[in-house]
Amino acid sequence: MSTTYTATISLRSSVAEPCSSCGARPFSVCSAIDTADLDRLAAAAMVIRVEPGRSFVVEGDRADSFFNVTGGTARIFKSLPDGRRQIIGFAARGYFLGLAVVDSYAFGAEAIDAVQLCRFSRTRLRALLDDFPALERRLLEAASAEIVAGQEQMLLLGRKTARERLASFLLARAALCGCPPGSATVHLPMTRGDIADYLGLTIETVSRSFSRLKADGLIGIPNNSDVILLDRAALEAEAAQG
C-alpha cells in the first residue's frame, strides 16, 4: 500500500515564512540548528498542509519520510485487523514524527484539524544528521522524552481506572500547553472517540467519566472541545500520579 494523500506541498525555502521565524522552532528539534545554518535546514524541508481527517502516514509503509509538525494536531495510532484502534499520542506543534520507525512506519497518522508539516526525506535527514551532531543529540533527547511518556501511558493503560485515566489525561494536556495554573482551560481538538481510543476505553465510558468529574465539581465543560479545570488538586489526587 502506498501513501497517497491530498495535501498542499511546497519547498520550505520558497515559502513566505522561513525557518528563522517558524513558530514551531522553539519547541522542535530544529532548535538544535544554529540560526546561521537554517538555510541548510530549509533546503531539506518540504512544507505540507494536510486537511482535517486526512491520513498522511500509513502504518507498515516503507518509512521514506520524516515529519515535523508545525501547526495543528494529528492522531498517531495503531490498529488491529478487526478495526480496534489504539491512539498512541496526539502530535502537535513541535512534535517530530519518525522516531517510531525502524524500516517501516510502526504507526498511522491522520490530521485532526488542519495540520502543517515539514517533510524531510530519509536521505536528506541522514545528511543533516551527519553534518549537525547537535541535531542527532536533540533527536536522542526527544526519543528519551517519548520513551518516558510511553512508559507513563503504559502505566495508565495497564493499571488505572477510567476516572483516573481521564484525570491524568486532562492534567497532561494542561501541562503540555505550558499554561500557568491561572488559565485553567484545556483545549481538546480531538473527538470523544479519539480520547477513548487513546485511553483504552469506549466513547460511552469517556462521556460518563467526564459527566461524573463535572458533577463532582472538578471540571467545567463549556463545550465539547474545551474543559475547565476547577479543582486541580483534586484532579491530581484522582490521577493517582506515580
Residues 6+ apart with CB under 8 A from 187: 173, 177, 225, 226
- Closest CB to a copy of itself among 33 and 47? 33
Asked if 79 is part of the footprint of DNA (rule: CB under 7 A), the reply reads no
Asked if 78 is part of the footprint of a copy of itself (rule: CB under 8 A), the reply reads yes
Q: Which of residues 116-135 bind DNA (CB under 7 A)?
A: none
Residue position matching grid coordinates 472517540: 193
Q: Which does 59 bind (CB under 5 to 8 A by kind): a copy of itself, DNA, none?
A: a copy of itself
The partner residues of 113 in beta bridges, in order of sequence, read none
Q: Using CB under 8 A, which of the segments 32-40, 114-122, 142-150, 180-188 binds a copy of itself?
A: 142-150
Residues 1, 82, 222, 233: which binds a copy of itself (CB under 8 A)? 82
Among 189, 199, 202, 209, which residue's Cα sits nearest to residue 77?
A: 199
> What are the DSSP calls for the chain, one per residue?
------EEEEEGGGSSS-GGG-TTGGGSGGGGS-GGGHHHHHHHEEEEEE-TT-EEE-TTSB--EEEEEEES-EEEEEE-TTS-EEEEEEE-TT-EE-SSBSSBBSSEEEESS-EEEEEEEHHHHHHHHHH-HHHHHHHHHHHHHHHHHHHHHHHHHHH--HHHHHHHHHHHHHHHTT--TT--EEE--S-HHHHHHHHTS-HHHHHHHHHHHHHTTSEEEEETTEEEES-HHHHHHHHT--
Q: Which of residues 33-72 bind a copy of itself (CB under 8 A)?
A: 59
Asked if 1 is part of the footprint of a copy of itself (rule: CB under 8 A), the reply reads no
Asked if 178 is part of the footprint of a copy of itself (rule: CB under 8 A), the reply reads no
Question: Smallest distance, Å, CB 189 to DNA?
Answer: 10
Per-residue x/- mask for a copy of itself, residues 97 to 136, rule CB under 8 A? --xxxx---xx---------------------x---x--x
Q: Which does 83 bind (CB under 5 to 8 A by kind): DNA, a copy of itself, none?
A: none
Q: Which does 205 bind (CB under 5 to 8 A by kind): DNA, a copy of itself, none?
A: DNA
Distance CA 146, CA 128 (A): 22
Question: Smallest distance, Å, CB 86 to a copy of itself?
Answer: 4
Q: Which does 100 bind (CB under 5 to 8 A by kind): DNA, a copy of itself, none?
A: a copy of itself
- Residues of this chain that interact with a copy of itself (CB under 8 A) are 59, 78-82, 84-86, 88, 99-102, 106-107, 129, 133, 136-137, 139-140, 143-148, 150-155, 157-160, 197, 199-200, 240-242
- Residues of this chain that interact with DNA (CB under 7 A) are 161-163, 191-193, 200-208, 210-211, 221, 223-224
